Amino acid sequence: MITRKKTSQIFVGKVAVGGNSPVSIQSMTNTPTTDIVATIKQIQELESAGCEIVRCAIPDTESVLALYKILPEIHIPLIADIHFDYKLALGAIKAGVDGLRINPGNIGSKDKVQEVVAAARDKKIPIRIGVNAGSLSKKTIMKYGVTPQAIVESALVHVSILENLGYYEMKISVKSSDVVTMLESYRMLSKKVVYPLHLGITEAGTRFSSTVKSSLGIGALLAEGIGDTIRVSVTGNPIDEISIAKEIQKSLGLRKGLQIISCPTCGRTSIDLITLTEQVEKALLPYSDYDIKVAVMGCVVNGPGEAREADFGIAGGNGEGLIFKKGEIIGKVPEKMLLTELIKLIENYLPQ
């Protein structure tokens, strides 16, 4: 039901971004990049969780050297996150990274920018321009304040530097820690460029705060068709970023996968639905990549109707429960058999 805005397409390694390719999920390591063992381990864990593109901070030459050891051990594209130093950018490209995050306006002289762009062009490596409140110049802030307009204008300055060099392999982010500013910045930018957009909320806080802000900010834009790749930021384990990103996309039908819908229970509920739902979640964990919607309802009267859109469901109460498939009741079993019967039904349905 979502019509995505058409953008130009770039490739971060093997992963297409933009041009109607699936919205990819990114994360960033929080290990010191020079701790090669820890960084490889974290990237491999992110891969297993479903991360599709990973970014590493490259603050020094030692980190560039670490890339030579890290890259052969991982299976997803790696983007080097570089602030200011063009030599680090050149080094990372030479080491074989799949993308750069660097703001061309912050690299320094025109010569240095040209050198980085030439190296990126040679290796077909895209550049992400990433502007946020923290990267605005004093001049821009004096003129506009920290507003969506300031952020977008600043991004466009960096864009024009690349365009003037005939380089178009780019994606852009205009993150903010303020959700309303973030929404407005991306909407404004989306009208002005054809490049793919990388969505995110910066400094989104710990898991709970980030789940709320990222679902709202990233989700609302994706629902409008804006956004080609996303990164949820969490102060915590980056693995959490992947589960939040996946859940946002599943909620919008942008990514296939298991969805469990369950009612909040009320004074009418005569079954321990909270425990039952947790049991269903746990039992279906191995099937989380299958595109099925499962309902767990506490009301025999309204349950099957309310969960009409679910592929499979159960509705329990007063010692017995109904099993239904696409809104149609297909069985009645004692309450204690509900979980077993539901899982059996789903396992029989799934391709072996």
Find the binding residues for its own copies in span 204-223 (CB under 8 A): 204-206, 208-209, 211-213, 215-216, 219-220, 223
> Considering only residues 289-328, where is the footprint of its own copies by CB under 8 A?
295-297, 301-302, 305-309
> Considering only residues 143-182, where is the footprint of its own copies by CB under 8 A?
146, 177-181
283 binds its own copies (CB under 8 A): no
Least separation, in Å, of the C-beta of 166 and its own copies? 31
Q: How far apart are CA 181 and CA 136, in angstroms?
A: 14
342 binds its own copies (CB under 8 A): no
Interface region with its own copies, contact rule CB under 8 A, candidates 44-52, 122-130, 246-254, 335-343: 246-254
Q: Return the SS3 of 24.
A: strand
When binding is defined by CB under 8 A, the residue of 235, 256, 289, 347 that contacts its own copies is 235
Q: Around Cβ 283, how many Cβ atoms within 10 Å? A: 15
Interface region with its own copies, contact rule CB under 8 A, candidates 90-98, 153-161, 259-267, 333-341: 259-267
Least separation, in Å, of the C-beta of 327 and its own copies? 9
Closest CA to 152 of 178, 108, 177, 184: 184
Q: Using alpha carbons, list the distances in angstroms from residue 65 to 28, 36, 318.
A: 18, 10, 65
Closest to its own copies by CB, 116 or 133: 133
When binding is defined by CB under 8 A, the residue of 71, 165, 260, 333 that contacts its own copies is 260
Q: Return the SS3 of 78.
A: strand
Least separation, in Å, of the C-beta of 75 and its own copies? 20
Angle between helices 61-70 and 36-49 (to 10 degrees): 50
The two tokens of residue 97 are 């990274």
120 close to 127: Cβ distance less than 8 angstroms: yes
257 binds its own copies (CB under 8 A): no
> Considering only residues 29-48, where is the footprint of its own copies by CB under 8 A?
29-34, 39
The full DSSP string for 293-331 is EEEEES-TTTHHHHTTT-SEEEEEETTEEEEEETTEEEE
When binding is defined by CB under 8 A, the residue of 110, 124, 256, 268 that contacts its own copies is 268
Closest to its own copies by CB, 146 or 165: 146
When binding is defined by CB under 8 A, the residue of 25, 133, 159, 342 that contacts its own copies is 133
Q: Which residue has the tokens 């990233």?
A: 218
Closest to its own copies by CB, 117 or 294: 294
Q: How far apart are CA 61 and CA 78, in angstroms?
A: 17
